[in-house]
Amino acid sequence: MANRELVVLGTASQAPTRRRNHNGYFLRWDGAGLLFDPGEGTQRQMLFAGVTAHQLTHICVTHFHGDHCLGLPGVLHRMALDRVPDVVEVMYPGVNEDVYQRLRHAALFHDALLLVERPVVSDGLVSTTEAFSLEARALSHLVPTFGYRLTEPDGVRMLPAELAARGISGPDVGQLLRDGRLGDVSLAEVSEPRPGQKFAFIMDTRLCDAAFSLADGCDLLVCESTFASADEGFATEWGHLTARQAGRIAAEAGARSLVLTHFSQRYEYGTESRLRDEAAEEFGGLITLVNDLDVVPVPPRR
């Protein structure tokens, strides 16, 4: 099992189809587990994908259209049933606090959940851990919607040859990392910068500056691509992206890889490769057009 990967739980926009569940995405990031936009049926899709309630550390909802949140009550219920003992952070558009509260308390169950709710009211940082920070930016949809971006802090990579040349090994390496210096050897002499990895999640939006900011330099970018270019008029009217626009965002933002998902049911299952082709005309990096239960690894560090 990779340490960092996207587990795709569902890929349908608006209504599930025979082959595609409502949205749902689980990002495994070392010891953290971030669930994005749990649509209807997410609890069962987690079962199929081997994702357990105990693995959830964060839940991020972009907006409260049903295909992005109707699975939240089921997931919360399951977390309670499985007696998840840990604190789980929940992010969502704060202006719709009433909708969140209805979903939070949609059913009766023994409720011992330890949720830390972080309603998002403006662009900026929404959560930090030692391993990453999570920021949100308002997108351009029909209802209040935020995209999310996970950023790992930059670090350093030790250079074994340089360490060996100076006779540094074992616990001394740890001390050098902590103190930035060991005797007359500086950390910079025996290491090189290691850029942190970045992930972005962009759902339900027209083209907007925030989408490009969220995607900036991402290792893995998940982007809705509801429509083909021929239906761009619908995309603009209903606050969505075409696959070509998703490709443009990835290209202009310098993303390394792009996941296309959230497909309109108007495109018959198996014929969506045209969406990938349209995105590929804009973006030369790796494009993965996902189906339910696909697993997409975060690309290895540069």
Give the shortest CB-222-to-Zn ion separation in angstroms: 15
Decide if residue 204 touches Zn ion (CB under 5 A).
yes
Cα–Cα distances in angstroms (integers) from residue 260 to residues 40, 164, 294, in the given order: 20, 45, 12
Tokens of 246: 């998703």
Smallest distance, Zn ion to C-beta of residue 119, A: 18
Which ranges of 38-136 does DSSP label H, i.e. alpha helix? 42-49, 72-81, 97-104
DSSP 53: G
Instruction: Provide, rounded to whole angstroms, the least separation between the CB of residue 74 and Zn ion.
Output: 19
Q: How far apart are CA 126 and CA 118, in angstroms?
A: 7
Q: 54: which 2 tokens?
A: 């105990």
Does residue 222 contact residue 25 with C-beta atoms inside 8 Å? yes
Smallest separation, CB 237 to Zn ion (Å): 13
Q: Which residues are catalytic?
A: 67
Instruction: Give the interface segment with Zn ion, choosing from 23-31, 162-170, 202-210, 257-265 (CB under 5 A).
Output: 202-210
Question: Considering beta carbons, is residue 28 or 65 the nearer one to Zn ion?
Answer: 65
Footprint of Zn ion on residues 62-81 (CB under 5 A)? 65
Residues 6+ apart with CB under 8 A from 67: 12, 13, 14, 15, 22, 23, 37, 39, 40
The Cα-based distances of 301 to 98, 198, 219, 265, 298 in angstroms read 41, 10, 8, 35, 9
Interface mask (CB under 5 A) for Zn ion, residues 22-61, using x and -? ----------------------------------------
In the numeric block, which tokens belong to residue 74? Answer: 């089921």
Using the contact rule CB under 5 A, the part of the chain among 18-26, 35-43, 198-206, 260-268 near Zn ion is 198-206
C-alpha distances in Å from residue 133, one per residue of 127, 130, 136, 250: 6, 8, 10, 21
Which is nearer to Zn ion, 91 or 168 (by Cβ)?
Answer: 91
262 counts as binding Zn ion under rule CB under 5 A: no
- How far from 94 is each of 89, 166, 208, CA to CA, in Å? 14, 54, 21
Binding residues for Zn ion, total number by CB under 5 A: 2
- Smallest separation, CB 141 to Zn ion (Å): 6
Beta carbon nearer to Zn ion, 67 or 278: 67
Least separation, in Å, of the C-beta of 122 and Zn ion?
20
Residue nearest to Zn ion (CB): 65
- Could you list the residues that contact Zn ion (CB under 5 A)? 65, 204
